[in-house]
Amino acid sequence: MRQIRISGSILVAALAAAFALAAQAQELAGTLKKVKETGAITIGHRESSIPFSYLDDKQQPIGYAMDLCMKVVEAVKAELKLPALKVNLQPVTSANRIPLMQNGTIDMECGSTTNSVERQKQVAFGPTYFVINVTAAVKKSSGIKALADLNNKTVSTTSGTTSVPLLKVYEKTRHVDVKEIYGKDHAESFLLLAQDRTAAFVMDDILLAGQIANSAAPGDYVILPESLRQEPYSMMLRKDDPQFKALVDRTVGAVMKSGEIEKIYAKWFLNPIPPKGVNMNFPITPQIREAFANPNDKGV
């Protein structure tokens, strides 16, 4: 029998490599561990947050936020060496998106979610990809020119959004009395305004613009110039999951630093978008450009 001898240095190197691979597998935690074990990732998406995350004429979720989230999905495929990774799409609302993230139903939420200090107690966020102003849309025929004109009127807003507490604070500090009706999503909230069941729809300016652009009579509405607060949007992640957050930060940050974000932005905010071919005509603001230049996850 021929004896095969392995030198000590080769054996040590082989063992080190084996231990490294084992350690690497063991090091997977949180979302990445779950995705690796199940071979699937679940994306939470909105159904009417135009143009961030909404349904097209085939009832498929599309939008600016969805495009950025798919960049993360591709990075996950590469990181975990799972080219056939299954992507599950789960619709969420303003009211249930945080609970569904916390209980593990979704792994990442791609929509129009404000990154706030209060929400950071429950979930985490990726880099800011949009900056908005919370204000109100009204019908031009209403004669409403400012938020103070909403006194003693009924307004709609979407349940579970930051607009709700902001409106409460405004009422208290400005001594304005309004009655709120809550829509389950932005489409329902806007419909209340369109049907004259409310005098205004209080929400983020870009979401108001999206609803107006896709309405039957865009020329009937105006967005008030005042702002209740400026807020950053970003994708929502599970809290205390540094491994997945690092991958998201790295991926989205690279899209921003490379300039690719400009093309994605132009696709959704400066060009006709499905399903009706409307153009948001919403150029990059100085605040958004600053977020692209210096990717961060600072909340308000």
Least-confidence region, from 7-11, 105-109, 146-150, 240-244: 7-11
User: pLDDT at residue 95 above 60?
Assistant: yes
Predicted confidence at residue 26, as pLDDT, reads 54
Instruction: Cis check for the bond before 232: say yes or no (omega within 30 of 0).
Output: no
- What pLDDT does 31 receive? 98
Q: How far is CA 57 from CA 42, 99, 171, 276, in A?
A: 22, 29, 39, 9
pLDDT band at 11 (very low <50, low <70, confident <90, very high): very low
Give the pLDDT score at 7: 52
133-184 pLDDT per residue, tens? 999 999 999 999 999 999 999 999 999 999 989 999 999 999 999 999 999 9
Please state, rounded to an integer, the average pLDDT across all residues of the chain: 92
pLDDT at 159: 94
Residue 9: what pLDDT? Answer: 52
Average pLDDT of the segment spanning 8-30: 57
Confidence at residue 281, expressed as pLDDT on a 0 to 100 scale? 87
Structural domain boundaries in the chain: 27-129+234-293, 131-231
Q: Taking the model in full, what pTM does it have?
A: 0.83
Share of the chain above pLDDT 70, in %: 91
pLDDT at 14 over 60: no
60 vs 43: CA distance, rounded Å:
13
Percent of the chain residues topping a pLDDT of 90: 89
Q: Which residue has the higher pLDDT, 7 or 73?
A: 73
Of the options 3.40.50.300, 3.20.20.80, 3.40.462.40, 3.40.190.10, the CATH number for the domain spanning 131-231: 3.40.190.10
Domain 27-129+234-293: which CATH number of 3.55.50.30, 3.40.50.450, 3.40.190.10, 3.40.50.970: 3.40.190.10
| 41 strand-pairing partners | 87
- pLDDT tens column, 214-268: 999 999 999 999 999 999 999 999 999 999 999 999 999 999 999 999 999 999 9
